[in-house]
Structure 1
Amino acid sequence: MRVHVADHPLIAHKLTTLRDRRTDSPTFRRLADELVTLLAYEATREVRVEPVDIQTPVAPTSGIKLASPKPLVVPILRAGLGMLDGMVRLLPTAEVGFLGMVRNDQTLEAHTYANRLPDDLDKRQCYVLDPMLATGGTLAAAVRYLVERGADDITAICLLSAPEGLKRLDQETEDLHVPVTLVTGALDERLDENGYIVPGLGDAGDRLYGVVD
């Protein structure tokens, strides 16, 4: 698995505000949206393209366009939904599928409760959106499921990641024999006893949608 920690001052700046417990939900949503677009720029460096001939107002020339089949963007519900607008702003012609997964707070294992994906994922390049790579179970299960459905190139985009989740994702995807890439805004210190990233930013879904203690 390839890992890219995006090292950019604007990313660090936006992450700092996202981490701040005083940041309200509307501001959190806006900054998460902006941050995802920055991460998506890094994540799509190897998006598949094909040549195309065009006519400018001055002369004929050649360029590139997104190859077919188009990339598939897959937010993991519910928190991944808060990353969708920022991603499709950069890839407006991409298709979108949804995968609903939830982590059991006792076992920390992920379970699928919703699947709204295209029927045919054969040879599809997929971009999976999940704000937090904590224990790694949810994202690993999502990646494996997409590969089992036929996807042959997976890039996961996370706002924050923990070393434990990174290790688990690597271990659980190393036998898939397809390229798996993680693009993240930062690699934090560790997980706490409840499986939360430290220092982290709390529960991304709760902060996105206004359910905060």
Structure 2
Amino acid sequence: MEGVTVVNHPLVQHKLTLIRDKERSTKSFRELLNEVGMLIGYEVTRDLPLEMIDIETPLAKMKSPVLAGKKLVIAPILRAGLTFAEGMLDLLPAARVAHIGMYREPESRSAVEYYLKTPHDLDERLVIVVVPVLATANTAVAAVDRLKERGAKDIRLVCLVSAPEGLERIRGIHPDVHVWTAAIDEGLNDDAFIVPGLGDAGDRAYGTR
């Protein structure tokens, strides 16, 4: 699918299998989400711009590359996106964080916003939206809508598992937002959960069911 990158690194695929396992403990589930967040973070940031600066090693002066421009923004969709984003923050500790509080209303399946806090200069930064599961994409679309309203112009989306329906929706409404995912599953069931999927990532990460 255009605008979608499937991260097929062996370590990502191995850890995704462990995450899917329904017998995985809450502790292990969180740890694996964190680890995969870091691994996918490498792929999402592969093309970040660099600039050359002057430094001095113990042996000689030299020019060496560093990241150019303002630090990027990691934007997890609460709750489940938090643990996933922590792995990316381990990789990019200087990144800013935007918190997006949204949940899927059970009956209508529409996104309900309850919290939004972002850096003021989103228009000058790359924003990476983080959500473990992209099912209907209603929440992801609403999150991107709000970030664009706040000025964001350069947005990428990262998810662990996605459904074709969700990918088509996010790409159809926001074709400028590239998506990175570790898997595109079969589709959605009658309750709009991804099959085979990994269940409710928030409940599994925080032991609330």
What is the match of residue 199 of structure 1?
Answer: 196
- In the TM superposition, what are the counterparts of 1:18-29 in structure 2 within 5 Å? 18-29=19-30
TM-score, normalization by structure 2: 0.95
What is the match of residue 64 of structure 1?
Answer: 65
1:211 aligns with 2:204: no
Question: How many Å separate the matches in 1 of 2:61 and 2:10?
Answer: 39
Which whole-Å deviations, capped at 9, do the CAs of 1:22-71 have from their partners, x for residues lacking one?
A: 11100101111111111111111122333222111122222222223210
1:114 aligns with 2:112: no
Listed as ranges, the gaps of 5+ residues in structure 1 are none
Amino acid at match of 2:205: L
TM-score, normalization by structure 1: 0.93
Amino acid at match of 2:204: R
Amino acid at match of 1:46: D
Question: How many Å separate the matches in 2 of 1:193 and 1:184?
Answer: 23
1:142 aligns with 2:146: no
Which whole-Å deviations, capped at 9, do the CAs of 1:93-119 have from their partners, x for residues lacking one?
A: 111111101111111111211011112
- In the TM superposition, what are the counterparts of 1:53-202 in structure 2 within 5 Å? 53-174=54-175, 179-202=176-199
Question: How many Å separate the matches in 2 of 1:13 and 1:68?
Answer: 34
Query: Deviation at 1:149?
Result: 1.6
Query: Deviation at 1:120?
Result: 2.2
Q: How many residues align?
A: 208
Q: Secondary structure at the match of 2:17?
A: helix
Query: Is the CA contact 1:77–1:98 (under 8 Å) kept in the aligned structure 2?
Result: yes
Question: How many Å separate the matches in 2 of 1:49 and 1:194?
Answer: 45
Q: Secondary structure at the match of 1:186?
A: strand
Give the percent of matched residue pairs that are identical in Structure 1 and Structure 2: 47
Query: Is the CA contact 1:132–1:158 (under 8 Å) kept in the aligned structure 2?
Result: yes
